[in-house]
Structure 1
């Protein structure tokens, strides 16, 4: 959640404010470049300047040491540069307007999930698209809107209140409705789903009070709400991911087969396994910057479980 500036110390307020100025300056400078140079330029800046200064390389290295201790040193060194590069490209794409939308809408969709989605829409059946912070995940919203499949999405606000203001405006410009993570946002999202709509949820973040499942063979506390909603409202649960192509500018969307209905833990674990298989094929495109595995995980599941989805 973004902090209320009035509740911050003078030092914290100044830190957030200056960080936002720096980010806005980088974004503004990058937007002066033609799109085909802008995207790789921002990738280079985040990879070579921001990541070392912000400690992102250490986060990536620590996550890789936990999840992929088998990686040779040269591959780790490559990922320390490539993961922030993808993050930088994704960030500037959010702010790039029509040039980004044109490429996102042109992305082909592969896999059996598209036929399943279209069949569900013809039947008026609700659909939950389950995704992750991989490639540029907002491509799927732009693409499916363009194909006539309007969808809603749940998003997590940035902690920096000044950066959050323009960041959320940028992602909402790609397509709405979007709901802020929280009780009110969840209620609005569920209402949309109950009416036979399509929603998209990213399922690769640590969630306090979630269930202890596994990801890359390590305990990972995760929300099972997507699976609970799919069961409660007889919605299809379709994994969908955006794969950045070798030229660094174009995309392909993979829509995998729907997850079979069973129980929330089994279904969510199937989502984890599906994403893990994709990440292993494209290690540089998942956001290894996230704190997916918390330091206390060796102690087991924290008290509390995920709440039942709202009516």
Structure 2
């Protein structure tokens, strides 16, 4: 076992034993330290979040950036706590509204795609699916080192989610799962393989993942936009009315994709300080 693997294993054993309020307080301190020391992630985040807040107000930009670093630090606390969460824990932590939209989408018999962005925390709220009896497939980016990917997959799968590292066959696996009534959880704002499409996003241009729109158009699967946000030590999960292929102007993959983009833009504008996007997202202006 490498030192890195040992550290991950130790964190997953120790963090759940610390009372959540204390763990979050420690995470807040760590987040502020990273905000001060991690120059490049801070610079990247400021460039991203400045699309939705006034870059001319440096105090507001700094406020939202600090909030994002704290949010991400708390997200790691949640990730390392996943394996020990019970249904009662989830019910105490997460408030779920709009579930009727998910139920209605699944009733159409072609599964459901849950569409979101990197907002709030997905690691805990996605566990609400299995806790409520839903079958969930979750594609995840292949991150380095491999030990970290293995740990993330193991933790996210600890309550029965089918976690699938993204490769050339992931789309086919998702389609097959949807036809068996699964929910596929897909984030729009991270095109990890560079196979998405460049589009207008939050007033600039960005390359976004279009897998949800392509799969929905192919299979006829409804897309349910879902957003999370932190409120104190709790999480709010909200499902919105579905985007249904062939209805309300969603007649092609292009139409569906534009509706997906609009939904995620709305999510980010609601809580920009909880948009934890620390990777470069937007196209750079040409000189």
Which of the five TM-score ranges fits, normalised by the shorter chain?
Answer: 0.7 to 0.9
Query: Is structure 2 residue 114 aligned with structure 1 residue 125?
Result: no
Tell me the distance in 2 between the aligned counterparts of 1:59 and 1:65. 10
**Contact kept in structure 1, 2:54 and 2:60, CA below 8 Å:** no
Q: 1:88 aligns with which of 39, 62, 73?
A: 73
Aligned partner of 2:170 in structure 1 is 185
87-96 vs 195-204, which moves further:
195-204
The gaps in structure 1 that reach 5 residues or longer are 1-16, 300-311
Query: Is structure 2 residue 139 aligned with structure 1 residue 149?
Result: no
Q: 2:196 aligns with which of 210, 232, 244?
A: 210
Aligned partner of 1:236 in structure 2 is 222
Q: 2:265 aligns with which of 265, 269, 276?
A: 276
Aligned partner of 2:237 in structure 1 is 253
Tell me the distance in 2 between the aligned counterparts of 1:281 and 1:67. 10
Aligned partner of 1:8 in structure 2 is none
| TM-score normalised by length of structure 1 | 0.79
The gaps in structure 2 that reach 5 residues or longer are 245-249
Aligned partner of 1:140 in structure 2 is 125
Q: 1:110 aligns with which of 97, 100, 123?
A: 97
**Contact kept in structure 2, 1:230 and 1:236, CA below 8 Å:** yes
23-32 vs 42-51, which moves further:
23-32
Q: Secondary structure at the match of 2:42?
A: helix
- In angstroms, what is the RMSD of aligned CA positions? 2.7
Tell me the distance in 2 between the aligned counterparts of 1:123 and 1:49. 46
Q: Per-residue deviation at 1:125?
A: 2.9
Q: Per-residue deviation at 1:206?
A: 3.3
Q: Secondary structure at the match of 1:277?
A: helix
Q: Per-residue deviation at 1:293?
A: 1.3
Number of residue-to-residue matches in the alignment: 278
| TM-score normalised by length of structure 2 | 0.85
Correspondence 1:71-82 to 2 at 5 A:
72-82=57-67
Tell me the distance in 2 between the aligned counterparts of 1:271 and 1:57. 27
